[in-house]
Homo-oligomer: A and B are copies of this chain.
Amino acid sequence: MAFERIDSETIYDGKIATVKKDTFRYEDGEEAEREIVEHPGAVAVVAHDGESIYLVAQPREPVDEQSLLELPAGKLDEDGEGAEATAKRELAEEIGKGARDWKFLTRFYTSPGFAQEECHLYLATDLYDEQAESDENERIEIVTRPLSELDDLIAGCRDAKSLVGLLWFRSYLR
């Protein structure tokens, strides 16, 4: 099933969404064009203090949700900041916390059929206050939920990366 990319063309270059039309050649000799939405990658963080888990509620216009409850998360900067550094920055910017203990959990593609986005999932524990400035997150609300309500949280979660993090925590970490 091997393929190679033999051509790549940017067909729409927007602020968030950049769409490429790439041409691939497969080992059977066939060639096919594919539209691909470029994405720099992302991080998400399961952050808890042993009692409660820290979440953010924010409007998600693309899916018409006035307030979607998610793990703290953010996009990788395109200036080469690594995934763990991004996770630390986003945790401080979004929920005003640092963590003395960081652990990489897993990585996954959010929608590999059409988008390039890869999400790196971290666990952050031994938390402390560390406020960071950010102008991009003005509509974000910090939400804490007791770990004892984890199953309710999972049942109501509508965001893939957050579901992976919550279910991973339930399966391997609690």
A17–B37 CB distance below 8 A: yes
Does A111 touch B at the CB level, under 8 Å?
A: yes
A108–B157 CB distance below 8 A: yes
B164–A59 CB distance below 8 A: no
A5–B61 CB distance below 8 A: yes
| B-contact 0/1 string along A123-163, CB 8 Å cutoff | 00000000000000001010000000000001101111101
A61–B3 CB distance below 8 A: yes
Does A104 touch B at the CB level, under 8 Å?
A: no
Contact-residue size bin, chain A (C-beta under 8 Å from the other chain):
35 or more
B118–A63 CB distance below 8 A: yes
A119 CA to B26 CA in the complex, in Å? 28
B108–A158 CB distance below 8 A: yes
Residues from chain B with a CB closer than 8 A to the CB of A1 are 57-59, 66-67, 139, 141
Chain copies in complex: 2
Residues from chain B with a CB closer than 8 A to the CB of A22 are 61
Q: A12-B19, A61-B36, A66-B1 are in contact. Are A115 and B108 (CB under 8 A)?
A: no
On A, residues with C-beta under 8 Å from B are: 1-3, 5, 11-12, 14-17, 19, 21-22, 24, 26, 34-37, 39, 42, 57-68, 70, 75, 106-119, 139, 141, 154-155, 157-161, 163-164, 167-168, 170-171
Top 6 nearest A-B pairs (CB, nearest first) are A167-B167, A12-B12, A60-B112, A110-B111, A36-B62, A160-B160
